[in-house]
C-alpha cells in the first residue's frame, strides 16, 4: 500500500487543493498572511500523514507525526474561520470545508488509536 491510498491522505489532499483554488480569490493584502498560512497548514495535514506512514514501523514516531497532522488540521479550521469572518468565503463554503476537515480529523484519530492496522506494532518497540 502507498500512503496515497490512505483515505485520510486523499481526503486531506482534496481539501488542501480546494483551499488552494479558493484562496486564489483572497485579496492581495492577504498574500503573506491568511493566504500563505491557510495553504501551508492545509498542505501540512497531508504531508504529515505521508511522513507518518513512512515511519509506521516506529509506533511513537508514527503517532507523533499523526498528532502533528491533526494539529495542522485544527490550524486550518482556524484560518477558515478568519476567512469566513473577513467575508472571503461564504457560510455555506465554510460549513462544507469544516465538515470535510472534521472528517479528516476523525480519520487521523482513527489511525492514532489503531496504529497496528497501518503496519505499526507497538509491542515490538
Domain spans, the chain: 3-116
End-to-end CA distance of the chain: 22
Q: Alpha-carbon distance 79 to 3, whole Å? A: 26
- The per-residue pLDDT for 9 is 98
Q: Which phi-psi region, left, alpha or beta, contains residue 103 (left: φ > 0; alpha: ψ -120 to 50)?
A: alpha
Ranges of the chain whose pLDDT falls below 70: 122-125
At what angle are helices 59-85 and 7-23 packed, to 10 degrees?
30
- The per-residue pLDDT for 23 is 97
Architecture per CATH, domain 3-116, reads as: Up-down Bundle (1.20)
Q: Which pTM does this prediction carry?
A: 0.93
Count CA atoms within 13 Å of residue 17 on its CB side. Answer: 6
Q: Angle at CA 78, nearest 5°, toward 76 and 80?
A: 70
Amino acid at each position: 500500500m502507498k500512503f496515497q491510498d490512505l483515505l485520510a491522505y486523499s481526503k486531506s489532499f482534496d481539501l488542501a487543493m480546494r483551499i488552494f483554488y479558493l484562496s486564489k480569490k483572497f485579496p492581495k493584502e492577504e498574500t503573506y498572511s491568511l493566504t500563505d498560512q491557510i495553504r501551508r497548514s492545509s498542505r501540512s495535514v497531508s504531508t504529515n500523514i505521508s511522513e507518518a506512514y513512512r515511519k509506521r514501523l516506529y509506533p511513537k514516531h508514527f503517532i507523533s507525526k499523526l498528532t502533528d497532522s491533526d494539529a495542522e488540521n485544527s490550524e486550518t479550521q482556524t484560518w477558515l474561520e478568519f476567512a469566513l469572518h473577513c467575508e472571503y468565503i461564504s457560510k455555506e463554503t465554510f460549513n462544507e470545508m469544516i465538515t470535510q476537515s472534521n472528517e479528516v480529523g476523525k480519520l487521523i484519530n482513527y489511525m492514532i488509536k489503531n496504529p497496528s492496522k497501518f503496519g505499526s506494532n507497538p509491542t515490538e518497540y
